[in-house]
Amino acid sequence: MQVMKFGGTSVGSPERIREVARLIDDGKPKIVVLSAMSGTTNALVEIANYLYKKNFDGANEKISQLEQKYFGVVDELFTTQKYKELGIELINSHFSHIRSFARDMFTMFEEKEILAQGELISTALMNYHLQETGRQSHLISALNFMRIDKSGEPDDYYIRENLQRELKQCGDYYLIITQGFICRNAMGNIDNLQRGGSDYSASIIGAAVNAEEIIIWTDIDGMHTNDPRIVEHTHSIPELSFDEAAELAYFGAKILHPTCVMPAKLANIPVRIKNTMEPSAQGTIIKKDVPKVPIRAIAAKDGITAIKIKSDRMLMAHGFLRKVFEIFETYETSIDMITTSEVGVSVTIDNTKNLEPIVNELHKYGTVEAEGDYVIICVVGDLHSNSKGFGGTILSALNDIPIRMISYGGSNFNVSVLVKSEYKSQALNCLSHSIFTDEK
């Protein structure tokens, strides 16, 4: 069995929904994971913000605008009176539910229930379209099997057992439609896997059913050697290892959600990235064993803040780094890069929500400097310690760019450098020219 995931752009219009239906209808059994139609989640977030502020007139206006959009989708997507009526009934039901939250008490759990409506609508529309066009399909709700535990991590045993139960109830249906992104939490409330979570859903589902392959359908033909929005003449990478793909996803390759790789890696299930706009394109396959290439790709992660802690007490002091890291742990703030010297340590973070209290706590141990507007440039490949020349290639390419930090050794698959955001485009282009032009 295959697991296929289609993002919001891929199901963003009636025509795109029809195209997805054609792609999945090849007679082979598969589970199809769908995001909300593009623009829907943002609109639902906006509605929730109005409800938090008790601006019910504003909320109802936005609800009506989104509802009218979906009535238009129903009218264009379906051709028979039966399915037009089913579609209208579906939209009326979901938007009546959304309107029911326009009351004085509005909580985080209710917001997540509102956000879930996007995926619930898109999957129902797809299932109706498949049935109207004579294709055999069955819709199952992710809320019946997808659950996270108290730590926010997937409850693998629960997911596997309940998904298998749902599939058995489907009988001989070979097209199973379900939602990405949404789930229930340990308390049974509707929750989600955060933004980009549909990739994660597909990977979790693939591992739970031991799929032969997980295919992530998106709007670009695979992971590229560099950011095609900034660098010309990039090309898709035919194959990546799980570790290389994880590094690229974490450090800025937006095409794949960073968490998506781990469930597939643990289950050793290949992940293929394909382009719905160009389905014949080769795309990228991510798997365990791939030919070793010294430098495979380059990515950039924006919105980075550098924090430097300098202290004479650090010299020969046991436990200094532990105390520093405990502060970041207390404020649930992850560190991306770290470099150390005899009297100081520099780290980077991408979440500045608790920057002020973190800096205040760090002042206990020395002088602290925090500066934002940085970008991490990540060079990914098979960069084992016995590889030669890659360090010189990278640093030579960045010879005219001021470098704030350099990190290598924590992983054999990436070298990261920190530069000011104003140098991002120059750094990506210089690296691409130096590495991939010479390669050719």
Measured CA to CA, the distance from residue 269 to residue 266 in angstroms comes to 8
Cα 238 off chain centre by: 21
Whether 11 shows a pLDDT value over 50: the answer reads: yes
385 pLDDT above the threshold of 60? no
Band of residue 326 on the pLDDT scale cut at 50, 70, 90: very high
* pLDDT digit string, tens, across residues 62-74: 999 999 999 999 9
Q: How far apart are CA 244 and CA 287, in angstroms?
A: 10
Per-residue pLDDT tens digits for 132-173: 999 999 999 999 999 999 988 999 999 999 999 999 999 888
Pick from 41-45, 106-110, 295-299 the range whose average pLDDT is largest: 41-45
Q: Taking residues 87-95, what's their average pLDDT?
A: 98
**The tokens 């430097």 sit on which residue?**
308
pLDDT for 317 equals 64
- Tokens found for residue 12: 């963003």
pLDDT digits 0-9 by tens, 261-276: 899 999 999 999 999 8
Q: What is the pLDDT of residue 313?
A: 66
Q: Which tens digit of pLDDT belongs to each residue from 281-323?
A: 889 999 998 988 888 999 999 999 999 998 876 655 677 888 8
pTM over 0.75: yes
Mean pLDDT within 373-398: 84
CA angle 156, 160, 164 (to 5 degrees): 170
Percent of the chain with pLDDT over 90: 72
Residues of the chain with CATH 3.30.2130.10: 297-439
112-125: per-residue pLDDT in tens? 999 999 999 999 99
State the average pLDDT over residues 334-339.
92
Average pLDDT score, the chain: 92
Rounded Cα distance between 178 and 169, Å, is 14
Q: CATH 3.40.1160.10 spans which residues of the chain?
A: 2-218
Are 240 and 262 a contacting pair, CB within 8 Å?
no
Vertex 110 angle, CA 303 and 193, to 5°:
45
- CA dist 8 and 118 (Å) reads 10
Asked whether the predicted pLDDT for residue 6 surpasses 90, the reply is yes
Tell whether the model's pLDDT for residue 197 goes beyond 50.
yes
Task: Give me the mean pLDDT over the 341-361 stretch.
Answer: 92
| Residue where the block lists tokens 């990039």 | 234
In DSSP notation, 375-422 reads EEEEEES---TT--SHHHHHHHHTTTS--SEEE-SS-TTEEEEEEEGG
Buried b (16+ CB within 10 A) or exposed e, 68-87: eebeebbeebbeeeebbebb
**Cα R_g (the chain), whole angstroms:** 24
Split at pLDDT 50, 70, 90, the class of 418 is very high
Contact 137, 172 (CB under 8 A): no
Which tens digits make up the pLDDT trace of 16-37? 999 999 999 998 999 999 999 9
DSSP tag of 258: G
Mean pLDDT of 35-43: 96
* Cβ pair 153, 9 in contact under 8 A: no
Per-residue tokens: 64:
């009506």
Cβ contact 332:349 at 8 Å: no
Q: Residues with Cβ < 8 Å from 317, sequence gap 6 or more?
A: none
CATH code matching the domain that covers 2-218, chosen among 2.60.40.10, 3.40.1160.10, 3.30.390.50, 3.40.50.11260:
3.40.1160.10
Residue 337's pLDDT band, with cuts at 50, 70 and 90, is very high
Q: Tell me if 79 sits within 8 A of 56, measured CB to CB.
A: no
pLDDT-based confidence at residue 54 (cuts at 50, 70, 90): very high
Residue 195: the pLDDT is 61
pLDDT at 221: 86
Domain 297-439 belongs to what topology?
VC0802-like (3.30.2130)
Measured from the Cβ of residue 97, the count of other Cβ atoms closer than 10 Å reads: 13
Predicted confidence at residue 387, as pLDDT, reads: 63
Question: Rounded to an integer, what distance in angstroms lies between the CA atom of residue 337 and that of residue 167?
Answer: 43
